[in-house]
Structure formats: C-alpha cells, structure tokens
Amino acid sequence: MTRCLLLSILLLAACSPARVREPVAPILVEGEEEKEPDWRIARADFEQVLKAGLQPVMRWYFVVPSYDGDAFVGYEVAEIIKPELEAGPLRVGDVLVAINDMPIERPDHVLAVWRQLWSRKTISLDLLRGGKSRRYVIPILSDS
C-alpha cells in the first residue's frame, strides 16, 4: 500500500504507512472532527512513485466530474480500483477539490501538481465528504 497516497491524491488520483520510524499524524485542518489513521509517506517510496510516472496512478481510482448545478466542484471518487487504497484518506463519494492548494479542474492542473511534487514536504488534500469541507495535510518523511 506504500507509494499510493501521492498519486492517489493526485488523480484522486494515499499512500499507506510506509517504512517510517517517527510517528507523524496527518492534520485535520477543518471539517468534522474524526479520528483518522496515521497517513504518511516515506520520501523513498514517494520518489519511486514519481519516477514511475502519472499513468499507473490513473488506474487506481475511477473518478467522475462533480457539479453543483452548472458549476464544476471537483472530481468524485466513484470507485477505488486498487483494494489497498480503501484504507487511505480518499473514500468513495469524496469530491477532491484541490491538491496542495491547486484546483484540479482540468488535466493541465493535474500535471502542474505532479511537476511540483518532487520538492514537497507535505501533500494537502481539500475535499468534500458528505457535503462538509475537509483538509488533510500528509507529511512526506525523510529517510534519515
């Protein structure tokens, strides 16, 4: 389940706990209070996913555009194809609105997020779950 979060997040595209020693929990910044698992990504696993490219990640989730009337909201997770991702931060029915404060309304937005991931120390996800806004900040841990 390692190496999944980054890309899962990206495309709605969750990585699970990886080879890490220090416990660092994601920060639920806003939204309903709820105890969530300890999601984090080891830098080596993160970079391995980045090196593999965006294409494999696109097969992990099935997403559909989500609208409020005529206004585009984000991408709804319709199905989690890769079973080990079911324990990740994204759930069926979630609507991903932004990654790292960047909206993901078009394919070029996803590519822009992808390009800046190499230098990130965290990944933030803005999503709607059950109509409520949630923001997760997931640490990328150094391998030291």
Residues 11-39: tens digit of each pLDDT: 443 332 333 333 344 455 555 545 566 78
pTM of the predicted protein model: 0.72
**What is the DSSP code string of the chain?**
-TTHHHHHHHTT------S--S----EE-SSS--------EEHHHHHHHHHH-SGGGGGTEEEEEEEETTEEEEEEEEEE-SGGGGGSS--TT-EEEEETTEE-SSHHHHHHHHHHGGG-SEEEEEEEETTEEEEEEEEEE---
Checking if the pLDDT of 3 tops 50, the result is no
Checking if the pLDDT of 59 tops 60, the result is yes
- Residue 19: the pLDDT is 32
Query: In CATH, what number does 4-141 get?
Result: 2.30.42.10
- Residue 29: the pLDDT is 54
